Amino acid sequence: MSRIGKLPITVPNKVTVTIDGSHVAVKGPKGELSRVLSNTVTIEQEGDTLLVKRRDESRPARQMHGLSRTLVANMVEGVSQGFQRRLEIQGVGYRAQVQGRTLTLNVGYSHPVIIEPPDGVTIAVETNTNVIVSGFNKEEVGNTAAKIRAVRPPEPYKGKGIRYAGEAVRRKAGKTGKK
């Protein structure tokens, strides 16, 4: 039995879950998400908890069990609390600005890089070097943060670039001088 898949999902008071076969819709104060789960798993609502169960013991059903439970749990958590990803910009002259909804990055290129977030995702800038990506869909928040990081990933010699908060960048020694 999947250790993750058999865990129940608690639904907060302000969140409503609608199950129609393999289609799950979750609505809460932050927004509304829906997803079609694999037909190898079933989802049942008992009071304020959700249980994801396998239809049989086939390999695809075992593979989808934990994944489906995690996807539904992320939907419930997203519409009730939301998700957040923090990014740090390091480098001399590197900075970020928000103008309306768009993020403008000055990270050493000859031109500023402009990123438009998808619907449901907001970008905020603390100081000039800390970027916060937040929203209620965990996948969209993670993808947007990854796109921002991909503009200038941290390099191993000086550590300049955009990194996730708390990300450890392995540093390399540079060239040694002639003697």
Q: 113 pairs with which residues across the strands? A: 105
H helix or E strand, kind and range, residue 119: none
Q: Is the pLDDT of residue 2 over 80?
A: no
When pLDDT is averaged across residues 103-110 and rounded to a whole number, the result is 91
User: pLDDT by residue (tens digit) across 28-45?
Assistant: 999 899 999 989 999 988
Do 26 and 33 meet the contact criterion of CB atoms below 8 Å apart?
yes
Residues found in the chain: 179
Would you identify the CATH topology of the domain 83-164? Outer Surface Protein A; domain 3 (3.90.930)
Q: For the chain, which residues make up each domain, given as ranges?
A: 9-80, 83-164
Residue 166 tokens, joined: 């708390």
> Does the pLDDT at position 139 exceed 90?
yes
- Crossing angle of helices 138-151 and 59-80, rounded to 10°: 90
Query: Would you say the CATH fold of 83-164 matches that of 9-80?
Result: yes
CATH code of the domain occupying 9-80: 3.90.930.12
How much is the pTM? 0.86
* Helix/strand/coil for 107: coil
- Output DSSP code: residue 108: S
Closest CA to 77 of 16, 12, 121, 20: 12
pLDDT of residue 141: 94
Q: What is the pLDDT of residue 1?
A: 58
> What is the predicted pLDDT for the residue at 117?
93
Within its chain, how far is the Cα of 89 from the centroid?
A: 19
